[in-house]
Amino acid sequence: MIAATPEPPYYVVIFTSVRTAVDAGYAEAAQRMLELAAQQPGFLGVESARSDGLGITLSYWQSEEAIRAWREHAEHSAVRERGRAEWYAACTTRVAKVERAYGFDRSA
């Protein structure tokens, strides 16, 4: 559930979105993008949640170069265009450098 990321520094792409009413193709594309992202060099993990109309997806990456390569991936680019046209009423992408991290896991 919570991504097992390495010690900082690393990068995060924060994607927050509000969906349209259009569902056609969305679930399949979202699942495919998760699988494809996980295969990219420098991918460190992903966390995602959606409630009350707001979706948040966090993907973690080793470097800005890894983020750039994923951004330019042909299949990802095509799906992103479709997302803009069909699935999302509003969305924001933020790229950030994780400087420190801490936490606990009592379930482990």
**Binding footprint of a copy of itself on the chain (CB under 8 A):** 1-3, 5, 8, 12, 14, 16-18, 47-56, 58, 84, 88-108
Q: Burial-class residue 89 by CB neighbours within 10 Å (0-12, 13-18, 19+).
A: exposed
Token readout for 50 is: 């959606």
Distance CA 54, CA 59 (A): 17
Query: Rounded to an integer, what distance in angstroms lies between the CA atom of residue 14 and that of residue 95?
Result: 6
How far, in Å, CA of 40 to CA of 49, rounded? 22
- Name which of 8 and 41 has its Cβ closer to a copy of itself: 8
- Token output for 89: 């009423």
In the complex, what is the shortest distance from the CB of residue 103 to a copy of itself, in angstroms, rounded to a whole number? Answer: 4
- Kindly tell me which of 2 and 24 has the beta carbon lying closer to a copy of itself: 2
Closer of 2 and 74 to a copy of itself (Cβ)? 2
Question: Smallest distance from the beta carbon of 25 to a copy of itself, in angstroms?
Answer: 18
Q: How far is the CB of 45 from a copy of itself (least distance, A)?
A: 10
CB nearer to a copy of itself: give 25 or 45.
Answer: 45
At 18 the three-state DSSP class reads: strand
Task: Report in angstroms how near the CB of residue 99 gets to a copy of itself at its nearest.
Answer: 6
